[in-house]
A and B are shown apart, each in its own frame.
Chain A
Amino acid sequence: MTSTHDTSVITSLITGVVSGSRGIRRVTSMLRILGACAVVICATASRAPAQQATALTQLDGRVSPTLRAQLTTLTDSAFAVGLPVGPLVDKALEGVSKHADESRIVAAVRAVMTDLGIARRSLGASASEGELTAGVAVLRAGVSASALAAIRRSLPHRPLAVPLSILGTLVVQGAPVPSATSTIVNYATRNDDARLLAFGRDIARSIARGVPAEAALLQPGGLVTNAAGGHPTSLSQPSTPRINPPRTKP
């Protein structure tokens, strides 16, 4: 409703600007341009609160009023310091679906908020929500905040959501943090997330089959034979969940 209204206001202003002509009309048209710019700025600035509100609507009908109030306080605090609200709402919904106690849900949401703050300090203020979410996973896997910051310094302009997600899963599987970090960072410099994802899966599969983590990490992009000398795995083998190539509508 609001967005439709904004659009109609912008359209009417711009229509007026285009149809304006000489003399006083020129001054009027300039004022209209300024007005249109103001509307544009306001519409852009109001997007973040709208996203917060959209995220919070997911709680409607799924949490008690008491829990809703507590979560709203937390998300307001997160929003005030520039942290994304989506991961907090997501954690709350997870707890609700798993029938966790309300106190436990609030504690879990608060813990996520703390970790998001650490991740943002390590990855920088411009880190995306995806990067911060993956950063939280990496921190919880045992990677230090300073190591996370070092990854950002090594790859200052590259989106880190996928590299961090892969690093987190490898560390959880038992890969040593220093070697896993250096391997992923080196591979991530190629700036190909699809190949990096396949590479990470390959390493994870090798570790799952009994290949020592250090050895698996030393096989960049190649085939890894499992410890028992069984079948090799390749980059092209699907894993579960399997990601199919995109299909186009006929």
Chain B
Amino acid sequence: MDKEQIGNTDAGGSPSEDRVEHAITLLRTAVPVDAGAFDVRVLSAIQQGATPPVRPGTRGTRSASSRMTLLIGATALAASVTVAAVLHNRAREPLPRKSGAPPRAMMSVAPRGEQLVRFSLAGAHATRVTVAGSFNGWNTSATPLRRVGNATWVADVPLKAGRYVYQFVLDDHRWVQDPNAPRDPGDDFGKSNSVVTVVTQSGS
């Protein structure tokens, strides 16, 4: 029965009714089943899908070998995942910040494994104050301080654990030590730097 036949069916058409009756009769007719042949076909299908017989004495060896292969594969997989993670993290390492990029000092939340360190300088009469140090590649414009009072400037910088040296830069040219931080013993380029040591909860 196709679409055209169904579409041509009308209310009083006896040929269509005959065809329907014929179909019903055919469906109701019992189909003879050869039980023996059916069983043979089923068993044959099962045997074709079954695993080949195992030779006596080789089952344990094969099992151990399979386990060893699985173990080595799992170890290699774990090592590879670790390396992939390391490579992925390396690829995501921030590049040295260019001037004009959003300063991290404006972040209010320190990323995992970092501490938010507040740099502050009081009594600095300047139009612009930044902090440059070993944490930002000594970039004199990357980390500006914001004025919070008449002459007080602050910046919150997320830093990983470690020892950092820095100085404040007033109006892009005047280098100033932090009066409240310890001094670095080195003075390779004039005034010695200030030091901050950061410890995170995850360790140093």
Which positions in A face B, CB cutoff 8 Å? 3-4, 6-7, 10-11, 13-14, 17-18, 26, 29-30, 33, 36-37, 39-40, 43-44, 47, 50, 54, 57-58, 90-91, 93-98, 100, 104, 108, 111, 130, 133-134, 136-137, 140-142, 159, 161-162, 165-166, 168-169, 171-173, 193-194, 197, 200, 204, 239-244, 246-249
Contacts and interface: CB of A to CB of B under 8 A. Distances in A.
Contact of A98 (B90, B156, B189): B189
Interface of B: 65, 69, 72-73, 76-77, 79-80, 83-84, 86-88, 90-91, 93, 95-96, 108-110, 114-120, 132, 134, 137-140, 156, 161-163, 165, 175, 178, 180-186, 188-190, 193, 195-201, 203-204
A140 B186 contact: yes
Given A162-B199, A240-B120, A242-B117, A137 B204 contact: no
Contact of A94 (B84, B95, B189, B198): B189
A40 B79 contact: yes
Contacts of B118: 240-244
Given A193-B204, A204-B182, A17 B79 contact: no
B88 A142 contact: no
Nearest to B180: A240
7 contacts: A18-B77, A33-B73, A43-B83, A44-B83, A57-B95, A172-B182, A239-B180
B108 to A, nearest CB: 8
Contact of A243 (B87, B115, B182): B115
Contacts of B116: 243-244, 246-247
A165 B195 contact: yes
Given A97-B140, A247-B116, 7 more contacts: A30-B69, A98-B175, A130-B163, A172-B185, A193-B199, A242-B120, A246-B201
A159 B203 contact: yes
Contact of A194 (B65, B69, B134, B199): B199
Contacts of B76: 14, 17, 33, 36-37, 40
Contacts of A94: 134, 138, 165, 188-189, 193
A17 B69 CA distance: 9
A172 B186 CA distance: 10
B134 A161 contact: no
Q: Which of B115, B139, B163, B200 has the most CB of A within 10 A?
A: B163
